[in-house]
Structure 1
């Protein structure tokens, strides 16, 4: 069986989900996995325009992005399906190479982890329609109507809330599967906090607070870290800049304080180890990073979520008791201090996170798709007389 995973490189979350699913499918014998960025098969003009529009609206004019996001979430099923079809018709002329890719690779199933490739599949030329069934993996904690398209054989959803919303909108419950957002397979394997700290040369006797700053404003991170250095005692702060190229430079003059150690990291390949090693994490509310944190049961403080899907993600996490969302930066240091001084509260948050975390989501999705494909294949075989 050949599986095609399609994503769009708008943010790291979709890429991470595609990688996790690739890992999961590769665990099964006889499966060939192809993972492709749909934007790589778009015209350069379209690709640059979409990337810049997303970046500028979500980061520079977030309230406009919020208005567009909420305004495009259509509750009526037929209207939402037709709206997404119209968008696909407008985009299709820029994606002629995508149909050719699918025709030439002839996958047995296509799995989409972002909205753009999913809606384009509705309009492939007849000669390109060699790939059935088609599945959609929702990578936000609430399913927006832009994920819904004609011809989808199954939706894999993060939680019961999203499933109930889509049922209320009229989708067939038989194609709605609550699995969680796919995270890398190593997260399903147990790790010891002390062993991970030893491996990463982190102190065993200090509380560790990790701040993932890849998608945050550098000056706002500076303010948070400065306040933590002044407020905390017997702690270590780890700042991960990731793709935020300006962050490390902005933090240059910040160093250890009397009672707090500071570690500043760029791009790392051991995010999961750091999540396990941490007592508390400060982050935005991207669907993938929060899913990874929840799956490990690490308490979270959410700051500066992008209006729209990240605000909804933050609401889901806060409502479950797995984290807190703070609007004022001045409240981050007091919140961290309170939580570290109240281990019983941190433990409650850990338990709540584990209750909604789904470390085996990728494997569940892969298993369901393979089982579905085998059932369909068996039905197409001629019966023996």
Structure 2
């Protein structure tokens, strides 16, 4: 790998969204120029290789058990341009990252995680490197944690995010509205049919828990879906093996549990409603699939910001508790015309997802 990387994409495993965005970016650039050598690397495998696994485990425990503590850190980073903790971490980690970059010699860096953007920006500020840096913001947010002084370009989700970043002093020409980058399978017209034999006269609901598997463990949550009448519910448990086993043992007629699968795009194409946590990548996968959202109990800072985007653009509904969730699902099942309105609004937003400009801008900057 040393000295042979054209584009280094730095990401993280805090949820699966950052990695999924990195893969989407790589796909679209290679689609335009397959000769470019692109590597995706977890920045924390570079910064703290021995601690990263435990750090990710701590993160999952934190967001599941104490989201209010997570949010206090999230909004502190989001609302403050400079934090004293940044300098502390830079002091202990910059040299390791510098050594890695001197070894692999990337011609350009794309970051899908804010910490990576700031570390690279700091190294550029100190004069160690001069390669272009692109930051891809992976939620519908505009907080300071994403704004790095020595960033060449920003890929952002919406015009609203672009305007808010301009207010923070970033030059207009540095900000490109792409939508949140998706893998190609979500953007092709013919997504294929999943291996499931789904009833054609049922409303199909898909339930996902996001990148860290934040699905309810309570059996009653799923039993109530099974009682909805002409509704079939697909539950994607992802890597939550314990929940998958529990749901299989419940043996419900109208609830289909599925573990980790590569058929998410085709399952979305066959579904009528997506019940989920509103991670940025999931929201834009739903938009690309024209699949209306019912957002269940958003708690984390970025989820709350993405939920605002969903409500403001009328592409779904927010359910704050279990009772309101089932009430919403019943109303939608009885009034499919409302689903049609959400789908129409999603179709309009879908037209603004622009992966071609993402590829063009990245390649242009690489060869500049």
TM (norm. structure 1) is 0.86
Per-residue deviation, 1:12: 0.4
Q: What residue number does 1:284 align with?
A: 277
**Contact persistence 1:111–1:134 (CA under 8 A):** yes
1:310 aligns with 2:303: yes
Per-residue deviation, 1:253: 4.4
| Residue ranges of structure 2 left out of the alignment (5+ in a row) | none
Per-residue deviation, 1:140: 0.7
**Contact persistence 1:299–1:323 (CA under 8 A):** yes
Match of residue 223, structure 2, among 221, 226, 230: 226
Match of residue 248, structure 1, among 241, 244, 251: 244
SS at match of 1:94: helix
1:154 aligns with 2:188: no
1:51 aligns with 2:56: yes
Gap change, CA 1:156 and 1:88, over 3 Å in 2 = farther
**Contact persistence 2:215–2:237 (CA under 8 A):** no
C-alpha distance after superposition, 1:46-98 (max 9, x if no partner): 52564244323322111122222223322xxxx61x438x6155245235443
1:266 aligns with 2:265: no
Match of residue 333, structure 1, among 326, 332, 338: 326
CA distance in 2, matches of 1:154, 1:39: 23
Match of residue 342, structure 1, among 316, 335, 341: 335
C-alpha distance after superposition, 1:268-302 (max 9, x if no partner): 01100111100111000111111101111101100
Pair member with larger Rg: 1
Per-residue deviation, 1:45: 5.4
1:22 aligns with 2:19: no
SS at match of 2:41: strand
CA distance in 2, matches of 1:343, 1:368: 41
1:189 aligns with 2:182: no
Per-residue deviation, 1:18: 0.7
CA distance in 2, matches of 1:297, 1:359: 13
SS at match of 2:305: helix
Q: What residue number does 1:373 align with?
A: 366
Q: What residue number does 1:168 align with?
A: 167
**Greater Cα offset, 313-322 or 164-173:** 164-173
Per-residue deviation, 1:209: 0.7
**Greater Cα offset, 152-161 or 205-214:** 205-214
SS at match of 1:241: strand
CA distance in 1, matches of 2:337, 2:124: 59
CA distance in 1, matches of 2:225, 2:65: 27
SS at match of 1:218: coil
CA distance in 2, matches of 1:307, 1:125: 32
Per-residue deviation, 1:168: 1.8
CA RMSD of aligned residues (A): 2.4
CA distance in 2, matches of 1:312, 1:115: 16
Q: What residue number does 1:383 align with?
A: none
Gap change, CA 1:180 and 1:358, over 3 Å in 2 = farther
CA distance in 2, matches of 1:43, 1:293: 34
Per-residue deviation, 1:352: 1.3
For this pair of structures, how many residues does the alignment match?
Answer: 361
